[in-house]
Structure 1
Amino acid sequence: MRLPIGIVCAISATIAPPATARDTKAWDTSGSVARDVLVVTALALPAAKGDWKGDLQALASIGGAFVVTTALKQTIRSRRPDGSDQHSFPSGHSSASFAAAATLHNRYGWKIGLPAQVVAVFVGVSRVQARRHRWGDVLAGAAIGEASGLLLTRRLNDNVRVVPWGDTRSGGVSVALRF
């Protein structure tokens, strides 16, 4: 239980400076640090637990998001809000952060996943506040990262599966137990 609290404390120290700062550099730096913390956590936590399959899944998840994001950045020319280049869409920081957060959530559950998702949201907000991306760039990056994390990561204990579902008329959650 100390790990999620440690993640929250580390990220709180990162989030505090831009919350009061008006300059884009503080937001840019804080978002980059938060992304790095998420990626390192997604790779280091499985290694620390001796969960090498989880480590490979995290690497595949983050790597997959990187490949898709890079391909889209090269294909779709979109000028950044700060005018620095033509690689605004989608947000790479967001895709990496959400891939790491989704991997942690999917592999280890909500106690680790929820704080990681909150940090990933902060990274997305920081990219807009730093004027490096628009909201659409961030949402696309988040979707790529979440999809990568959910598709390429399996739950450590898959005796219990919770699967959300929905169609045009209704939605719900299916729970499957394996004995």
Structure 2
Amino acid sequence: MVNKTTILLISLLFIFTNKALSQTIEPNSTHEKWEFVLEDTGDVLQIAIPVAAGLTTLFKEDWDGTKQFVFSYATSLVVTHSLKKIIRKERPEDRNLYDAFPSGHTTSAFSGASFIQRRYGWKYGKWAYLGAALVGVSRMEGPDGWHDIWDVLAGAVVGIGSTYIFTTPYEKSKVDVGFSSNGDTHVFTLIYKF
């Protein structure tokens, strides 16, 4: 189910992490290299997780899932950016930017992760949630420290909430039809799962 998506996600993560590791840090910087790697990884995952969610619906030819993902993801982004304009919370470290609450990166990542979990189960969702949590940490602990814990938690709540409004668990088919033949005996089965 997720083989192609997993390969894409790992490839993107590898490419951008490699880019982050090859960065040069200014001599007077107060930040360590791992902080830059963390921030760049969060930047990639906030896009890669929802892309993986959307591609999974396409690979599985799950058109209802595609529609549910589009509605939930679009809702999470509209709510997030509306709240940013309404609340106008200042970013940490006196940046004079008033769009901190909620974290858009975190909303995006948790929207994708919660869709994967809600639609396809915890087997895949747990890894997506781990990536989304890493995005949240990167927004607080990266060299720029763009958010505090409340911004990140609000982003997660918006992302998860929008998913649970629009998304239902995936069911392949409720009807299973079978036929078997053995000499003079023919068996036709019809199973309906409730």
* Normalised-by-shorter TM-score class: 0.7 to 0.9
TM-score, with length taken from structure 2? 0.72
Q: Secondary structure at the match of 1:86?
A: coil
Deviations 1:77-103 (A, max 9, x none): 111124151100000111111111111
Quick one: which of 131, 136, 141 aligns to 1:124?
136
Confirm or deny that 1:106 pairs with 2:124: no
Q: In structure 1, list runs of 5 or more residues that go unmatched.
A: 160-177
Pick the aligned partner of 2:106 from 94, 98, 104.
94
The answer on 1:144 being equivalent to 2:158 is yes
Give, in whole Å, the separation in 1 of the partners of 2:99 and 2:39: 16
Q: Which has the higher helix share?
A: 1
1:172 corresponds in structure 2 to none
Give 1:122 shift. Answer: 0.4
- Bigger Cα displacement from structure 2, 120-129 vs 73-82: 73-82
SS class of match (1:97) = helix
Alpha-carbon distance between aligned partners in 1 of 2:17 and 2:156, rounded to the nearest angstrom = 19
**Structure 1 position 49, deviation (Å):** 1.0
Q: TM-score, normalised by structure 1?
A: 0.78
- For residue 71 of structure 2, what is the aligned residue in structure 1? 60
The answer to whether the 8 A contact 1:79-1:88 is kept is yes
Q: Within 1, Cα distance between the matches of 2:121 and 2:68?
A: 15
Q: Number of residue pairs matched?
A: 160
Note the alpha carbon deviations across 1:113-143, whole angstroms, 9 max, x for none: 1110100000000111121111110000001
Identity of aligned residues (%): 32
Distance 1:15 1:105, change over 3 A: farther
Contact 2:17 2:37 in 1 (8 A): no
> Which protein has greater RCO, CA pairs closer than 8 Å, 6+ apart?
1
